[in-house]
Chain A
Amino acid sequence: MSEALLTTRNLTMRFGGVTAVESVDFSLGRRELRCLIGPNGAGKSTFFKCLTGLLKPSAGQIYIDGEETTGWDPHRIASLGVGVKTQVPSVMDGLSVRENIWLAAGRVHGSRTAGRFVDDAIDRLGLGPIARTLVGQLAHGERQRVELGIVVAQQPWLILLDEPAAGLTGEEVGRMAQMITELSSDAAIIVVEHDMQFIRSIAATVTVFSQGRILMEDHVDAVMADARVRDVYLGRKG
């Protein structure tokens, strides 16, 4: 437990009569790369939103780097050094790519030195040619990259990515996987994803959610081979 960067204990989230996440005990090590999978409605996105502070859990606790963050507002959790990419790219359409990333870098590094980190993030994500374009004019794949640039520029030590490969072309998926592998050398990462091919390519440990609970936790190959996992994905009750 002492090595864990993020743990949840008995984490529960109810919406009226529906329990979306039920008593989840979860633990993520330092610099670990973890994928969360599960069929629609399994509770992984709700779990994710509890971690980022966008939802306040009904019960249970969340600890990030030894500090209890249960019920904290998103900005407080983010300012610990947590970078978040949401499911639908959450970017600022009316601003340029550069300004988007500058705002992220400015909060962490201060407005005087932010420029350096902005250039760095733009380089890493290959956003140079579109740096001055308004984000609202960009294609979906580019917006995904801009949002990742926002996360990278904050230099977080814990990164939460919700469906980073969604809607990307084959080539873009490959680049995203490479990017995530690179990032995982300095930060712990949780990826919520549907695309098994993508998960294979980043070769991660996988936590499978089903009906609000953790079904199993293992390496991606073992998970793929598991009969129960196939059952929940096909909607059979085992």
Chain B
Amino acid sequence: MAKADLKHTAFVTVLAAVALLIAPSFLETYTLTILVVYGLLALSLGLIWGFGGILCFGQAAFYGLGAYTYAVAALNIGESTIPFFLGVLMPLLFAALLGAMMFYGRLSDVYLGVITLVVTLIFFKFMNATAGPEYVLGTARLGGFNGIPGFQTLNVPGDPDAYILGDAFYYFTAFVLLLVYVFVRWLIASPFGRVAVGIRENEQRIELMGYDARLRKTVLFAVGGGIAGLAGTLFASWAEIVTPGLFSLSQSAEIIIWCIVGGLGTLVGPVIGAMVLGYLKFVLGQQSVIDNTLILGLVLILFVVLLPRGIVPSLGSAFRSFQGAIRRRSRKTPRRRRRRQADV
């Protein structure tokens, strides 16, 4: 990582840590936890879409797969440590397989969108159809539309009776989010990440430089799948039940909306978008005057029309021009050529 990157990452991480620490004085940790999980899920798409140019309509597939894997493994194993890792590993491997199929098959963006969407719907339909007693994995019944309840939630590794619940679970989830953020920043700043951004910009050029774009996209897609799976695993522990709704169309669409509203091409943007919209949904869910999805749709349209770059990039450039105005007034120095900053 270059010095500027390191400084930036440290600054954002500390700021976010402080925000996450003081947040419980304003909101219940139970609500905050799910907002953080949404943030993590948005981060996974923010990485592959914003930095790899891969628009995946089915990030919910990896999210749901992570949740289901955790639930099934936790029912079979009991202690939560191995299920936790399986909840990340399984979606990662599945994403690698799906990604390899799509990228080595040289599918164009439109087909990629269609396939990822259809895969999610297949999961949704399949999980809904598993109500019968014949759908059993070990001791875990998949349960159809009722989902899987009653599995072991997250515990202190090695001690199945020491549950991580409530405030402790919130702080754990927040810590995971920060950890993943730092990891993703590192990944983007690494040569691998820089080539990924090159692929987003011009895949043919990257190939003509001698890089295997297919392999790199597959790896990036798998990492995104793993992070979404991690979010799903945490969700399962939070909700204490997993249902086919995790694979639903609205869940898939929401993740994309979070990224657009928060700001694509940044990492903080999708996380903030997810938390803001997630909270909005939570608040709207407590009233019955107006339909929830109607408002979310309106928010999306307003953003696409008025703030197409999203919250964070718009705030960033507003802040920079404000800074520039102050500098000009105080020193009257010539303004330097401004670079578009796409790496918040």
Q: Which of A75, A95, A134 contacts B207 (CB 8 A)?
A: A75
Question: In the docked arrangement, what's the CA distance between A102 and B337, Å?
Answer: 21
A133 at the B interface (CB under 8 A): yes
B343: shortest Cβ distance to chain A, in Å? 11
Q: Given the known A-B contacts A90-B204, A150-B205, are A95 and B198 also in contact in the complex, defined by CB atoms under 8 Å?
A: yes
Q: Given the known A-B contacts A102-B194, A103-B195, A111-B191, are A94 and B342 also in contact in the complex, defined by CB atoms under 8 Å?
A: yes
Q: Looking at the complex, which of B139-147, B156-164, B208-216 is the stretch in contact with chain A?
A: B208-216
A120 at the B interface (CB under 8 A): no
Q: Which residue of B lies closest to A147 (CB)?
A: B205
- CB contacts (< 8 Å) of A91 on chain B: these are 202, 205
Q: Given the known A-B contacts A94-B342, A133-B337, are A107 and B211 also in contact in the complex, defined by CB atoms under 8 Å?
A: yes
Q: Which residue of B lies closest to A102 (CB)?
A: B194
- CB contacts (< 8 Å) of A103 on chain B: these are 194-195, 198, 206, 209
A67: shortest Cβ distance to chain B, in Å? 15
- CB contacts (< 8 Å) of B60 on chain A: these are none
A125 at the B interface (CB under 8 A): no
B201 at the A interface (CB under 8 A): yes
- CB contacts (< 8 Å) of B207 on chain A: these are 73-75, 78
Interface residues of B in 299-344 (CB under 8 A from A): 337, 339-340, 342
Q: Which of A73, A76, A92 contacts B202 (CB 8 A)?
A: A92
- CB contacts (< 8 Å) of B200 on chain A: these are 94
Interface residues of A in 85-100 (CB under 8 A from B): 86, 90-96, 99
CB pair A96 B209 closer than 8 Å: no
CB pair A106 B201 closer than 8 Å: no
A52 at the B interface (CB under 8 A): yes
Q: How many residues of A contact B (CB 8 A)?
A: 30
CB pair B210 A107 closer than 8 Å: yes
Question: In the docked arrangement, what's the CA distance between A104 and B201, Å?
Answer: 14
CB pair A96 B339 closer than 8 Å: yes
Question: In the docked arrangement, what's the CA distance between A104 and B342, Å?
Answer: 21
Q: Given the known A-B contacts A78-B210, A96-B339, are A86 and B194 also in contact in the complex, defined by CB atoms under 8 Å?
A: no
- CB contacts (< 8 Å) of B201 on chain A: these are 92-95
- CB contacts (< 8 Å) of A74 on chain B: these are 204, 207-208
Question: In the docked arrangement, what's the CA distance between A52 and B202, Å?
Answer: 16
- CB contacts (< 8 Å) of B342 on chain A: these are 94
A118: shortest Cβ distance to chain B, in Å? 12
Question: In the docked arrangement, what's the CA distance between A94 and B205, Å?
Answer: 13
Most chain A C-beta atoms within 10 Å of own C-beta, residue among B195, B201, B205, B210: B210
- CB contacts (< 8 Å) of A154 on chain B: these are 209-210
9 new A-B contacts, CB < 8 A, other than A75-B208, A75-B212, A94-B342, are: A75-B209, A76-B210, A84-B208, A92-B198, A94-B200, A95-B201, A102-B194, A106-B195, A107-B211
